[in-house]
Amino acid sequence: MKFSYSLLKKLVPGIPSKEKFADVINLKAFEVEEATGNSMEIKITPNRFADAASHWGMALEAAAIFNLKTKLDDKPLNIPKGKGKVRVVVENKHACPVYVAHYLEVVKIGETPAWIKSVLEDCGLRPINPVVDIMNYVMLETGQPLHAFDADKLDGSIVVRFAKQGEKIVSLDNHSYTLTKEDLVIADKSGALAIAGIKGGKRAEVDKNTKRIIVEAANFNQANIYKTMKRIALQTDASMRFSRGLSPYSASIGANRASGLLKEVIKAKVVDSLVVAGKLPGKEIIEFNTDKFNSLIGLSLGKKQAADYLKSLGFKIITKALKNKNSFLVEVPPLRQDVTIFEDLAEEVVRLYGVNDLKPTPPLVGLVPVESDDIVNLKKELRTILVGFGFSEVYNYSFVDKKEADSLELMNPIAEDKKYLRVSLSHGLKSNITLNAREFATLRIFEIGKVFSTKNEEARFALGVKEPEAMLHLKGIISQLLKRLGLTDILMKDESNNSLTIKSDGVVLGVAHSLNSNSAIAELNLDALLKIVIAENEYRPLSKYPSISRDISLVVPRDIKVGQVLEVIDDVNLNHIQNVDLIDYFDNFEDDKSRLSLTFRLVFRSEEKTLTDEEVDKEFKKVEAALVSKIRAVIR
Amino acid sequence: MLRGRELHPLPSAYEADEQLLLFPAIQAFISTRILVVQPIFVKEYFNSVLLLNMNLKELQRKAFEEAENIEKKEHLESFRIKYLGRKGELTNILRSLKDLPVDERKSVGVDANKLKIELEQIVAFKEKEIGSLGEESVIDITRPGKKVNLGHLHPLTKIEEEIRNIFTSLNFSVVEGPELETEYFNFDALNIPASHPARDMWDTFWLKEGGKAKERRLMRTHTSPVQIRFMETHKPPFQIIVPGRVFRYEATDASHEINFYQLEGLMVGQNISLANFKFIVETFFKKLFGKNIEFRFRPSYFPFTEPSVEVDIKFPTKGRGDWLEVLGAGMVHPRVFESAHLNPRDIQGFAFGVGIDRLAMIKYKIPDIRLFYSGDLRFINQF
């Protein structure tokens, strides 16, 4: 929000130079984002609009921070009331807790004085005419948005009501808005005059011939204004303030100041006034316990010191003895709507003390063992292994353009190609492979991340490989990887010609796809893996007896798959078998493409004794017999 | 030669055996073959060895010692001939057995045969060991080394790991939570009411829900919901960090992304103070960026902390002299404790949130946040 440094200087004479002022405000109150010329951009946090989105509010802050006095024109005015010149009906007091109307008569509108114009310009507002300019100026001073109607253009009483569905209004700047039953309007018999708290309408606009003015200073329900502002996408100085919540007590303050200025600047005469109000909030009184404060902040302030900080900000200290000697009662100023509990007061005290000056103190707590989520450790281990295998890690977007059967869709996607939540990581890895293929002849990449479906959210990891015999490398990598993670029983079963399911202990962990002869992708479920990973390896005795290897070479028809051969060998239930490895694969046996030559190495070892050749031969013969009978292999 | 890795499982009792320690390779050999698996057998074995006559014992000691020093094939062959050859020393003893009385022949014979088997195994073992060393040859050692393909961790992973290590060293546990959240955990429970502009601090991606949906879902806009999820199931005191992906509905540019990473911190106990927060956060940043960085703490506003602060850092070196906004924090708001069914009278603590991407950009001098999600290996392989 823009502030005028010269107006602040006028309200709090004695504040330091703009730069110094900005530095200190930054450390004690609000972030000063930019300070060019006479104009300062100060970021008012959403909770402080009620009191600080105004020069008076900022002046009070500055006075407290720099220990100075303010000079505000906030003396109450003697204003006539109840003369019947203005009539207001508020249909919903929840939506509009306070409506203040002042009725003024003007002879000649004239010109806006330079001192008002310069403040408006510092704050980024364009001068229009003296009445409108004063409304804006008072908003900048007091934070209360105001509106002026030409009383002669009104048709009967002013009514604050919800719009009719489809009701239309043309704004001051000639935009037409169609309203709903949820939008609050200021209306008369002929229809809407203004979108309450957001924008004035064209019809009752004040112009240079205006002779009678009604100044409106109202308070509107924050949520109502917020919703309408969002729906019609119209952010104005007024809606910005109302949508964050203003104090109902601001309305009279604003109306008073406006009438005072109209009187002073354009010699207007205040003829009548009216206040329509529901029950306003009572005084907020909070107990401040100095011990509790010191414990929360890590300080040792005295009771008086804390009270002084609060007093400087306009809080009243109630002198009343409390049970707890280190406590006192604090009355919150009516505009400080953000202060409702002790912790809010604590913030006021500590920021004036200076968070920056607080001494960092190591916490005194009992040691507890660090217990991180298992998935955190698993991911770490996974990454270590994969990097060792030559995999580089990519991060892809969680949103994709591809819709699957169980995809979740965003209500408000940011782009057409980011409409759906990813159901798999593979999709992203495929694009990564394509993208990087231009630069890299071979690739190994992985991603760890969440995927989403109508069923659940799941942690996954995916591997992408681009290199000759990609699928076989990928299979080897997956086995080693899973073994490293502690799995012993790993099964990869072909589901189709180019995809395998990966299982362990009967749990499906994921799938591997061969995309083409030199690229393949696998995707595994981390949550499922986590459940079966054996956290700690157990030592198995090293065999003290030697192993004996036997190679078996066979020729089979081309359509027999290695998986089938391995299954046959597996089914034999060999004694003392330790390992079966395919050590040679030749798919063009004796220049015959219909035959496949395979060599397997069988390793035998006993845990109890040194095996004899006879024992091994006996087992080996069983394998030969099975291969011959079951898949009609020719043993070479 | 045996590697350290395989030596680890050896129980320390055997390492203390002085005789064995003299010959590490033999020790290792025997250990793998006999000692480790059957410790009782080993004791008996050595007892009986001690009972052997001096010749046999001395022969064993000598042979073991020699075997240990064999490094070449020729030496191994002469070793074999010396002990096991037709006129070898052990062969001689075995041959002389026939002259002994039956009783002694039996007892010495058993031991001598055992030693024979052992020496044969040593020869076989040494053969493998020497064989694996490869042929001696002369190569041009100034040739470039062979390329080794190692993978690269994503820079966000690297920095997250560094951050995790710092915080675990400060006794913080690492916890994670869902990325697809409910409106309740992301907003309401954190004291961010509906229809309030405070929500505008987090531009949100909402899920398109079917008519039956009980609760609106969204892509979490911060890691703070995990505060509630964790506190609902854990009793203070605790200190945790929560790294994870978060989402914001905003136009992307060099410093804004629709998804990015955040780290949440939460420390709760009986008297955890704002001064404690300053200690933890300063320690963290000094460890991450070096101990000379400067800090600035400013008041701020977050609905779920009271008081709230923001932390800026500044590097001492020239050219990086600007204050960088890096972290938002504060004392956990009593209503947040209440949301998690904890009594704010009994406990207090701090929470903070920091953008991991931003820290990585500062640390590695990365100019554009979008590079992290580009999947471009030319970028990733730099880390």
For the segment B203-255, what is each residue's pLDDT rounded down to a tens digit?
899 999 876 767 899 999 999 999 999 999 999 999 999 999 999 998 999 99
Report how far residue B323's alpha carbon sits from residue A33's, in angstroms, rounded to the nearest whole number: 12
Q: Give residues with Cβ within 8 angstroms of A517, minimum separation 6.
A: A468, A469, A470
In this predicted structure, the answer to whether residue B132 has a pLDDT above a threshold of 70 is no
Instruction: Give the pair of three-digit tokens for residue B3.
Output: 């590697």
Q: CA B334 → CA A48, B201, B298, B345, distances in Å?
A: 19, 21, 21, 8
Chosen from B276, B283, B369, B379 to mutate, greatest number of chain A CBs within 10 A: B276
Q: Give me the DSSP letters along A313-343.
A: TTPEEE----SSTTEEEEEPPTT-TT--SHH
Contacts of A409 in chain B (CB under 8 A): 207-208
Nearest one of B256, B254, B189 to B227, comparing CA atoms: B189
Domains of chain A (ranges, CATH numbers):
2-66 (3.30.56.10), 88-277 (3.50.40.10), 285-356 (3.30.56.10), 374-532 (3.30.930.10), 548-635 (3.30.70.380)
Nearest chain B residue to A539 by CA: give it. Answer: B9
Return the residue matching tokens 């069988």.
A602
Give the whole-angstrom CA distance, residue B211 versus residue A458: 24
Residues of B in contact with A435 (CB under 8 A): 375-376
CA distances B248 to B129, B200, B218, B219, B324, Å, are 61, 11, 10, 8, 21
Nearest CA among B308, B78, B47, B269 for reference residue B190: B308
For residue A297, list chain B residues with Cβ-Cβ distance below 8 A. Answer: 273-275, 307
Amino acid identity of residue B144, one-letter, is: P
Element (H, E) at B178: none
Q: Which of B297, B327, B337, B357 to mutate to test the interface with A (most CBs of A within 10 A)?
A: B297
Give the pLDDT confidence of B305-350 residue by residue, as tens digits. Answer: 999 999 999 998 766 578 999 999 999 999 999 999 999 999 999 9
CB contact (8 A) between residue A226 and residue B198: no
Mutate to test the interface with B, among A32, A368, A384, A398 (most CBs of B within 10 A): A398
Residue A250 C-alpha, separation from nearest chain B C-alpha, in angstroms: 20
Pick the closest to residue A62 from A18, A93, A103 (CA basis): A18
What would you measure as the largest C-alpha separation in chain B, in angstroms?
A: 108
**pLDDT number for residue A176:** 93
Q: What are phi and psi of B331, to 5 degrees?
A: -85, 130
What are the structural domains, with CATH classification, of chain B? 4-131 (no CATH), 155-380 (3.30.930.10)
Which of B174, B175, B282 is nearest residue A360 as measured by Cβ atoms? B282
The residue of chain B with its CA nearest to that of A379 is B157
Question: In this structure, what token pair is assigned to residue A229?
Answer: 């502002």
Contacts of B308 in chain A (CB under 8 A): 347
d(CA B50, CA B37) in angstroms, rounded, equals 21
Residue A592 assigned ligand-binding role: no
Q: Phi/psi zone of residue B365: left (φ > 0), alpha (ψ -120 to 50 degrees), beta?
A: left
Instruction: Note whether A341 contacts B: Cβ–Cβ < 8 A.
Output: yes
B309 CB neighbours in chain A (<8 A) are 355
* Whether residue B50 has pLDDT greater than 50: no
Q: What is the Cα–Cα distance from B19 to B32, expressed in whole angstroms?
A: 17
Judged by a CB distance cut-off of 8 A, whether residue B93 touches chain A is no
B164 interaction partners in chain A (CB closer than 8 Å): 376
Asked whether the beta carbons of B309 and A297 are under 8 A apart, the reply is no
> What is the number of other CB atoms lying within 10 angstroms of the CB of residue B146?
5
Residue B121 contacts residue B83 (beta carbons within 8 Å): no
B248 close to B256: Cβ distance less than 8 angstroms:
yes
- The reply to whether A34 sits in an annotated binding site is no
Cα B340 to Cα A630: distance, rounded to the nearest angstrom = 64
- What tokens were used for B140? 């041009």
In angstroms, the Cα distances linking B201 to A311, B246, B265, B303 are: 31, 14, 19, 10
Query: Which residues of chain B does A608 touch, with a Cβ-Cβ cutoff of 8 Å?
Result: none
> In chain B, which residues have their Cβ closer than 8 Å to the Cβ of A373?
174-176
DSSP secondary structure letter of residue B271: S
Alpha-carbon distances of A243 from A167, A474, A587, B62, B191, rounded to whole Å: 22, 57, 75, 95, 17
Tell me whether residues B375 and A428 touch, CB distance under 8 A.
Answer: yes
Rounded Cα gap, residues A186 and A88, in angstroms: 10
Give me the residues paired with residue A146 across strands. Answer: none
For A393, the closest of B237, B245, B380 (CB atoms) is B380
Residue A489 in 3-state DSSP?
A: coil
Residue B259 burial (10 A CB sphere; 0-12, 13-18, 19+): buried
pLDDT at A535: 52
Asked whether residue B9 carries a pLDDT value surpassing 60, the answer given is no
Helix (H, G, I), strand (E, B) or coil at B238: strand
CB-CB under 8 Å, A410 with B151: no
First-to-last CA distance in chain B?
Answer: 36
* Distance (Å) of CA A68 to CA A65, B164, B298: 8, 47, 22
What are the counts of helices (DSSP H) followed by strands (DSSP E) for chain B?
A: 16, 9
Tokens standing for residue B264? 């949440």
At position B100, the amino acid (one-letter code) is: L
Q: Sign of the C-alpha dihedral, residues B371, B375, B378, B380? A: positive
Distance CA B278, CA A324 (A): 29
Q: How far is A361 from chain B (nearest CA, A)?
A: 5
Residue with tokens 């306070």: A98
Residues A214 and A209: their CA atoms lie apart, in Å, by 14
CB contact under 8 A, A392 and B377: yes
- What would you report as the CA-atom Rg of chain B, rounded to the nearest whole angstrom? 35
Closest alpha carbon within chain B to A418: B258
Is A608 annotated as contributing to ligand binding? Answer: no
Q: Which of B32, B173, B259 sits opposite A397 (nearest CB)?
A: B259
Instruction: Choose between B202 and A346: higher pLDDT.
Output: A346
- The shortest C-alpha distance from B66 to chain A (Å) reads 23
Does B32 touch chain A if contact means CB atoms closer than 8 Å? yes
How many Cα atoms occupy the beta-carbon half-sphere of B265 within 13 Å?
27
Which residue did the predictor score with more confidence, B19 or B345?
A: B345
The answer to the question of whether A150 is labelled as a binding residue is no
DSSP B236: S
Residue A633 is classified by DSSP as P
Distance from C-alpha of A69 to C-alpha of A15, rounded to nearest angstrom:
10
Cβ B258–A414 below 8 Å, yes or no? yes
Between the two ends of chain A, the Cα-to-Cα distance in Å is 88
DSSP state of A589: B
Segment-wise mean pLDDT, segments of 10 residues, chain A, 636 residues? 95 94 94 86 94 96 95 87 91 94 92 95 93 96 95 93 94 91 94 93 90 95 92 92 94 95 93 90 93 96 95 92 88 95 97 96 90 89 95 96 92 93 95 92 95 94 95 94 87 89 90 93 94 67 82 88 87 87 83 85 88 88 89 86
- From chain A, the residues in CB contact with B152 under 8 A are 387, 392-393
The closest CB to that of B331, out of A30, A296, A446, belongs to A296
Chain A residues 510-569 within an 8 A CB cutoff of chain B: 539, 541-542, 544
Residues 6 or more apart whose Cβ sits within 8 Å of residue A215? A101, A102, A104, A135, A146, A147, A148, A255, A258, A259, A262
Give B 141-170 residues with CB within 8 A of chain A. Answer: 149-154, 156-157, 161, 164, 168
Phi, psi of B246 (to 5 degrees): -130, 170
CB-based contact (8 Å) between B172 and chain A?
yes
Nearest by Cα to B281 from A358, A370, A372: A358
Contact A631, A570 (CB under 8 A): no
Distance CA(A593)–CA(A76), nearest Å, equals 104
**B87–chain A nearest CA distance, Å:** 28
* Rounded-to-integer distance, Cα A293 and Cα B294, Å: 27
Which among B195, B196, B300 has the least Cβ separation from residue A45? Answer: B300
Mutate to test the interface with A, among B5, B37, B195 (most CBs of A within 10 A): B195
Task: Give the torsion sign (CA, A209, A211, A217, A223).
Answer: negative
Nearest chain A residue to B272, by CA: A363
Peptide bond into B9 cis (omega under 30): no
Of B56 and A612, the structure prediction assigns the larger pLDDT to A612
Closest listed residue to residue B221, CA positions, set B175, B190, B252: B190
- pLDDT computed for residue A538 by the predictor: 62
C-beta of residue A610 within 8 angstroms of C-beta of residue A548: no
Could you tell me how far CA A201 lies from the centroid of its own chain?
A: 36
* Cis amide bond preceding B307, omega within 30: yes
B contacts of A26 (beta carbons < 8 Å): 298
* Chain A residues inside the 8 Å CB shell of B198: 46-47
